[in-house]
Amino acid sequence: DSGVTQTPKHLITATGQRVTLRCSPRSGDLSVYWYQQSLDQGLQFLIQYYNGEERAKGNILERFSAQQFPDLHSELNLSSLELGDSALYFCASSVGTGPSYEQYFGPGTRLTVT
Amino acid sequence: GESVGLHLPTLSVQEGDNSIINCAYSNSASDYFIWYKQESGKGPQFIIDIRSNMDKRQGQRVTVLLNKTVKHLSLQIAATQPGDSAVYFCAEGETGANNLFFGTGTRLTVIP
């Protein structure tokens, strides 16, 4: 158990809908990272927050947004969902920001768009 | 648990043999490299890391080798065990940048 929690574990929704994925980092970790893992693209970095502020942005679509709240939990919002958004979404947390800080991954949320 | 059915390179080894998993990275400026293990139904888990000022680092049963000349990274697992069966990812990062870039991954299957 990494100490990172993600809810829900599974999510099934229809195209065009909007969903929110939630992540609680390990106690004491200030950074939260979001990743998408799909069949044909491996693990793709989406976005990172550190202590409430956006710090890095990867291949995140405009239909997706995220935020980190004062209690350090984070939410990833996915809107106007398309079939291609079906994937595993992972959250990771670390104490600091930068590649040398070990990232601890949550168990993921499996999103299925039908 | 569920896992994504990635179309990955695969490596099958006999239990007790050594495994070597390879990774090519792309960014010459990357100075930090990490190997992750992802078991079915779980998130990636840190195994070992190496900085660009090193060419070898050893952990418990694992060794990472870095060849910056050809931008190649490898993970060696000694005396492979059934519990080592998983997907292994390399990741690269650059000091001053906050995110990691992950490789495609290799699925290791250990045959008892």
Helix (H, G, I), strand (E, B) or coil at B83: helix
The confidence score (pLDDT) of residue B1 equals 33
The confidence score (pLDDT) of residue B98 equals 83
Please tell me the distance from the alpha carbon of residue A58 to that of residue A107, in angstroms, as a whole number. Answer: 21
Q: Which two tokens stand for residue A104?
A: 């601890």
Q: What is the pLDDT of residues A62-71, one digit of tens each?
A: 999 999 999 9
The confidence score (pLDDT) of residue B2 equals 35
Q: How many CA atoms lie within 13 A of B91 on its CB side?
A: 30
CB A47 within 8 A of CB A56: yes
pLDDT at A96 over 50: yes
Distance of CA A42 to the CA centre of its chain: 15
CB B19 within 8 A of CB B10: no
- Using alpha carbons only, give the angle B56, B60, B61 rounded to the nearest 5 degrees: 80
In terms of CA atoms, which chain A residue is nearest residue B51?
A100
Sign of CA dihedral A39, A41, A42, A45: negative
What percentage of residues in chain B have a pLDDT greater than 90?
A: 80
CB A5 within 8 A of CB A24: yes
Please tell me the distance from the alpha carbon of residue B91 to that of residue B32, in angstroms, as a whole number. Answer: 8
* Binary contact (A44, B102; C-beta < 8 A): yes
Q: Which of B3, B96, B99 is nearest residue A45 as measured by Cβ atoms?
A: B99
Contacts of A56 in chain B (CB under 8 A): 97-99
Torsion-angle region of B105 (φ positive above 0: left; ψ -120 to 50: alpha; else: beta): left
* Binary contact (A50, B98; C-beta < 8 A): yes
Closest listed residue to residue B23, CA positions, set B11, B41, B13: B11
pLDDT at B4 over 80: no
Please tell me the distance from the alpha carbon of residue A78 to that of residue A88, in angstroms, as a whole number. Answer: 13
Q: What is the pLDDT of residues B55-97, one digit of tens each?
A: 999 999 999 999 999 999 999 999 999 999 999 999 999 988 8
The confidence score (pLDDT) of residue A15 equals 98
pLDDT at A74 over 50: yes
Contacts of A33 in chain B (CB under 8 A): 99
* Binary contact (A104, B94; C-beta < 8 A): no
The confidence score (pLDDT) of residue B7 equals 65
Contacts of A88 in chain B (CB under 8 A): 3-4
The confidence score (pLDDT) of residue B99 equals 87
Please state the rounded mean pLDDT for residues B34-38: 96
The confidence score (pLDDT) of residue B97 equals 86
CA distance A17 to chain B (A): 22
